[in-house]
Chain A
Amino acid sequence: MRLELSGITKAFPACIANDHVNFNVEAGEIHALLGENGAGKSTLVKMIYGIMQPDEGEILWEGQSVTIENPGMARKLGIGMVFQHFSLFESMTVLENVALGINEKGPLKELAKRIVEVSDKYGLPLDPERYIHTLSVGERQRVEIVRCLLQDPSLIIMDEPTSVLTPQEVDKLFVTLRRLREEGRSILYISHKLDEIKALCDRATILRAGKVVGDCDPSKESARSMAQLMVGEEIKIPARNPNAKVGEDRLVVENLSMSTDDVFVADLENVSFTVKSGEIFGVAGVAGNGQNNLLSMLSGERLSPNDEAIRMDGLSVGHLGPHKRRKLGLAFVPEERLGHGTVPEMSLADNTLLSGHGVSDLVQMGFLRFSKAHNLAKKIIEAFDVRTGGSKSEAKSLSGGNLQKFIIGRELLKSPKLLIVAQPTWGVDAGAAASIHQALMNLRDEGCAILVVSQDLDELFAITDRMAVISHGRLSPARPTHDTTVEQVGLLMGGLFDQVDAWDEEAQR
């Protein structure tokens, strides 16, 4: 037995994150830790990696009881961790980043040699001299993994490693992980993507509300049965209305281009697409390929250089700000909930004013109507099952998923003609995600045009009618979703819109 936890309990002032958790990881297995957001997965692995200490219970490492005081000690024991959010310095090389992140000190040349060795051995090609900002997200993750492997760990914790990868990159990662397993290393794999767990993991421990609710062999379970264990209730699969009618063009984007001085962000290049009323249009793509620029141009937060490039119901809106576009029936749910979609320090009632001023009766003659704002907030909380202390709670006191439900509810209750949503269910638990998806589809059936920008392909395949892929600021031609495969999307994510384009790019370099 490599790692065994018994009776681990960790309580925070507001909640019990882990309640007498028992589980173990054997040598040479990939063990999944499965659970909704807020189920206590992160707290548990933070205690294993020494970032937090348990209040109660015992951690056994190779049969010995240990107290893991800090991450340095965890690394000495042979525990490595690859975080969901990378901790890399963009303006430094791979080699320098690795050197900074490991305990030992020595000549850089030797380290470079070892990086190349390790990366060759595990199929993680890396050039130690490259600068981080020139690497793709998948390559950055390789840096993190190589850095972790250099310590020769016997247990590797991976926190949602595939959330930023293309399908092809995911496949490559799985090859690497399986090779690590063959060497007898253990991997603790945290995810809520059930298909991946079925494909990769030997055992799964399912957490719900801080408690272990089940242990299973993922290959013998169906994704549905695991999801039910995870959520604890029947999940409704969003139902499509077969009678829904696609109407006229609501949003037309034509040759939208822009460039910024920011070298880390992709410029937009001649992006064109149309969203009709009564359809959900999906834009897939790995983060950082121009989605944020596209979204800010569509919401009006950044004005288009060309007024004609964005049209709503035939009206040129490229030069209109967010407020004027809202008056035309646009609603926008940004990716960042805290600090973009809401003001963290303000109450939920105040936050209804952010997108409600000028388009509802929350503000009259320049005066705020608090009672109306509170009523609206209460209505949203009730209709979208937002778990919170009430309309006076500060936005930052809500969990990510609940805040997302609140923002989606705030925008949906306006009955918009055009809804633009970024990452509608990012970090939202499965039950809430299903209800958000259902709400979006109902809105579509009522004739709203909906644009969903998401990195989650499962989500796009589940709810969209047509989809396109954004890569390096260019948007692929749109295809009907039912005619599209994951592999095709994966190729498009790599920018291979067609072979001619790829050659052109080669010639330019």
Chain B
Amino acid sequence: MIRFEPRLAPSRVMVYGAPILAVCFTLVAGAMLFSALGYDPLNSLYLFFIQPISDSYGLTELFLKATPLTLCAVGLAVGFRGNVWNIGAEGQLTMGAIVSGAIAVTWYDSTSMFLLPIMIIAGVLGGMAWAAIPAFLKTRFHANEILTSLMLTYVATLFLGYLVNGPLRNPEGFNFPESRMFGDAALLPLLFDESRLHIGALITLFVVLLGWFIMSRTLIGFQVKVVGLTPLAANYAGFNPKKVIWMSLMLGGGLAGLAGMFEVAGPIGQLQPVISPGYGFTAIIVAFLGRLHPIGILLAGTLVALSYLGGETVQMELSLPLAVTGVFQGMLLFFLLACDVLINYRVVLGFKRKAA
């Protein structure tokens, strides 16, 4: 018989070492997976993890993909600390893209310098509005935000599908389900020529620092942490749990909406039926891999972005299916959670009962 016994004091080193350990386990399991498929494991891992970032274009692509992941994850992490489980960042991202994209398409021939700032604000508000629905349902009817935010994701993606097939379809686009290409004034400035990395990456860095500051230095962050750790003590302090639910969903939704705006006004440049390869969902992995700490999330976001690039490389080089990306992300989360369990609990073998 196998039982888990709580450890008295989880090791501090291991709490932060777990993500690194999880990455190592993922590499080992990945190597085994590749060799089981009949490929040279070392070469495959090289193709997956090293080759995509072996040139400067690859690096800019890495940060391009890390941008939406990090943005979403920073917002989600705030909620996770406060026990608000927003699973619907993907939908909020989509909504941000739709609202800002609709503005870009409506004024596609505008050259105003205000267009881009307006789109940014619209993207944030779009994400917030979508996150406001679960917030309202939770505070008013105690509806579980995991379910409502997740289900609203599908509403958002279907709504996007309707728009690009209907009202926002490019009238000169041969009936392809796509919007017009955005005008130049609606596209984010690039950081480097010959790359797709845009100014949103810098904004993301700023958001990471801001997120760290809010969580560790302000009463808002303190409230979120107390509500998440000990609701009764939050009550004692007079912190309003409803306020924390609203705040963290607004923050998570707003940042996801911003990420959606960055995608359509950045690398994509138009509205399409699919604008995100699951960034909003993957951001959940990123948030936990980064230990819910904004700086950790930045590192984790970069690492997980690599799994997207690596997946594309092995798709091209080894003609493996794109699902490989999901497999690696799944393994990463699996090993991380397993490490976390073993940090907090010890495995006890045998039938003998040992009372504490």
Contact = CB atoms under 8 A, between A and B. Distances in A.
A355 B237 contact: yes
Given A332-B236, A354-B237, A357-B237, A366 B220 contact: yes
B215 to A, nearest CB: 11
B355 A326 contact: no
For the side of the interface on A, what is the size category? 20 to 34
A427 interface: no
A368 B218 contact: yes
A300 B236 CA distance: 8
A341 B218 contact: no
B202 to A, nearest CB: 25
Q: Which of A300, A353, A354 counts the most chain B CB atoms within 10 A?
A: A354
B236 A70 contact: no
Contacts of B235: 301, 322
B222 interface: yes
A344 interface: yes
A52 to B, nearest CB: 8
A345 interface: yes
Contact of A339 (B220, B222, B233): B233
Contacts of A326: 238
Interface in B175-228: 217-220, 222, 225-226
B230 interface: yes
Nearest to B220: A366
Contacts of B232: 336, 339-340
Given A326-B238, A368-B222, A341 B217 contact: no
B230 A357 contact: no
B129 to A, nearest CB: 25
Contact of A344 (B230, B236, B240): B230
Nearest to A49: B355
For chain B, what secondary structure do more than half of its interface residues adopt (helix, strand, loop), or is it mixed?
helix
Contacts of B229: 343-346
A366 B230 contact: no
Interface string B62-77: 0000000000000000
A179 to B, nearest CB: 31
A355 B236 CA distance: 8
A357 B219 contact: yes
A350 B223 CA distance: 11
Contacts, number: 68
A300 B233 contact: no
A358 B232 CA distance: 19
A354 B219 contact: no
Contacts of A346: 225-226, 229
Contact of A341 (B222, B226, B236, B240): B236
Given A300-B238, A354-B226, A342 B219 contact: no
Q: Which of A343, A358, A363 counts the most chain B CB atoms within 10 A?
A: A343
Interface string B230-246: 10110111101000000
Contacts of B217: 367-368
B142 interface: no
B353 interface: yes
A291 to B, nearest CB: 16
Contacts of B222: 350, 353, 357, 368
A339 B226 CA distance: 10
Q: Which of B218, B219, B355 counts the most chain A CB atoms within 10 A?
A: B219
B220 A341 contact: no
A368 B237 contact: no
Contact of A340 (B225, B236, B355): B236
Interface in A61-94: 70-71
Contacts of A345: 229-230
A50 B10 CA distance: 26
Given A326-B238, A355-B236, A367-B219, A343 B355 contact: no
Nearest to B232: A340
A321 B238 contact: yes
Contacts of B226: 343, 346, 354
Given A336-B232, A344-B230, A354-B226, A366 B219 contact: yes
Nearest to A353: B222
Contact of B219 (A70, A355, A363): A363
B233 A343 contact: yes
A323 interface: yes
Contacts of B353: 70
A299 interface: yes
A153 interface: no
B218 A342 contact: no
Contacts of B240: 321
Contacts of A322: 235-238
Interface in A289-335: 299-301, 321-324, 326, 332, 334
A194 interface: no
A71 B353 CA distance: 10
18 contacts: A301-B236, A321-B238, A322-B235, A324-B238, A339-B232, A340-B232, A341-B233, A346-B226, A353-B237, A354-B226, A354-B233, A354-B236, A354-B237, A357-B219, A357-B222, A358-B238, A366-B218, A368-B222
Q: Which 3 A-B pairs have the closest CB atoms?
A: A323-B238, A322-B238, A354-B237
